[in-house]
Amino acid sequence: MAEASALTIAALPADGHAWRIDWFSEIAFPNRMIRRKQPSVLLHLSRVIDERYREDHSVLLNPESTFVAKQRKVWVSVGTLPLLRIGAIWRDGLLETTPDYEFESFPDLDIGSETVSLIKAGLNLEENGFLLPRGEHPWHMQATQSYCLMVDLPSERRLIIPCIELIRFYFGSSSNLLTKLFLPPLKRDALYSKAHHSKINGQLSMALADGISGASAADIGRMHLDSTAWRSAVNVGTSLLKASVSNQEIHPQAHFPFEGVTTLTASGKWLSFSGQPRATFLVYSLRSCSHPFPFRSLRYDVKDRRVASADTTSPVDASKPRIVKPARRSSDRQLVEEDASGKLTRQARPVWAAQRFTDLTTKTIWKNKILAAPRSGAILVARPASETNAAVGDVGSDRRVRSVDLHVDLLAELTLSN
């Protein structure tokens, strides 16, 4: 996974060591003095001490591969989730590698109320013991109150997915969409308007709300047409509100945005249960889902707005000018935990990833209005965007911090523009 122009995450350790993301934990506003416009998620990290992982990722399956006894906790804005994976290795705020650990495919899963349960990570089934045994998986032990979804598998086995990972996968197409989910109440007009679905050809058309990336068009399209998807999105925020009223740690709940049959592929680790080996597959990161979207094609409108693209890795189009930007130090491009300024042009930064939803490989998504006018083939020398830091989320300060929207772009781009 190549990330957005070497954008470093300032909250992560910068001590030269490799750090593993062990778990996603609670949600809060840890410092309202500088961060009021977006909540943060607490990350549990442990330092990697088995250097063999560089040549052999499988050593990371061993609990002794990291210094888990002295985990470090850091707060990172929820809009940063498109960049984050449980099990990923970071060094000095930059992603070093995202190991596959144990990579599995689970075909023909029946997703519904009878097969899927909401559980806590520390669930103890008494005579059978913990679903996530500490001896095999100590990395979650400081967040046992966090929620997971458990999916029944054949032969009395099970699939367990941390709820924040489920949210990241199904709604993490852009940081702005994630922000809306974590700041309830969720309103449809904050995401889109003028939606129309043709029963004749199956085409869905809609106008995305200001600030919503086209990368989230398919996710929002499913939310419009599938009531289960909309309830799933709304439930993220309502679960936060319920926890806050009861003065508990705020751990989000999540559900699949559909019901029916799907094939999931995921990276994670097999765990034993009640003496049975490989009985529970704990998901670190979902990789693909085959459940179909409820439209045949999608056309979306976007509003003209000032957005500075930071994508310098896209294929060259000879019909457009090449923009040459002065080199900048990576230290000038930090993602910080502050509210951004409304006086600086918002920036869009891509997070490159493989297609998450196999159904979309056969469907077409159009952008009805491009953000910039066509240009000649000239070479333009641009001024640096600025030496300011960047932050996800809504603007709300006078600091020299630029607002940035992280959005997932496909390695094999399927979106068409006209």
SS (H, E, C) the chain: CCCCCCCEECCCCCCCCEEEEEEEEEEECCCCCCCCCCCEEEEEEEEECCHHHHCCHHHHHCHHHECHHHCEEEEEEHHHHHHCCCCCEEECCEEEECCCEEEEEEEEEEECCCCEEEEECCCECHHHCECCCCCCCHHHHHHCCCEEEEEEECCCEEEEEEHHHHHHHHHCCEHHHHHHHCCCCCCHHHCEEEEEECCCCCEEEEEECCCCCHHHHHHHHHHHHCHHHHHHHHHHHHHHHHHHHCCCCCCCCCCCCCCEEEEEEEEEEEEEECCEEEEEEEEEEEEEECCCCCCCEEEEECCCCCEEECCCCCCCCCCCCEEECCCCCHHHCEECCCCEECCCCEEEEEEEECCCEHHHHHCEEEECCCCCCCCCCCEEECCCCCCCEEECCCEEECCCEEEEEEEEEECCCCCEEC
Q: Which of 97, 113, 129 corresponds to the end of one domain?
A: 97
Q: Give a yes or no: residue 180 inside a domain.
A: no
Q: Give a yes or no: residue 249 inside a domain.
A: no
> Please, are residues 308 and 345 in contact by the beta-carbon 8 Å criterion?
yes
Tokens 């045949």 found at: 296
Q: Give a yes or no: residue 200 inside a domain.
A: no
- Residue 342's pLDDT is 85
Enumerate residue ranges in the chain where pLDDT < 50: 1-5, 306, 311-332, 370-386, 412-418
- Residue 377's pLDDT is 36
Q: Give a yes or no: residue 165 inside a domain.
A: no
- Residue 303's pLDDT is 72
Q: How far apart are CA 126 and CA 131, in angstroms?
A: 10
Q: Give a yes or no: residue 350 inside a domain.
A: yes
Q: What is the pLDDT of residues 235-292, one digit of tens each?
A: 999 999 999 888 889 999 999 999 999 999 999 999 999 989 999 999 999 999 999 9
Find, among 193, 164, 196, the residue nearest to 181 by Cα. 164
Q: Give a yes or no: residue 256 inside a domain.
A: no
- Residue 380's pLDDT is 33
Q: Which of 75, 97, 119 corresponds to the end of one domain?
A: 97
Q: Which of 78, 97, 116 corresponds to the end of one domain?
A: 97
Number of separate domains in the chain: 2
Q: Give a yes or no: residue 272 inside a domain.
A: no
Domain encompassing residue 90: 8-97
Torsion angle of C-alpha atoms 43, 2, 8, 142, degrees rounded to 10: 10
Q: Give a yes or no: residue 389 inside a domain.
A: yes
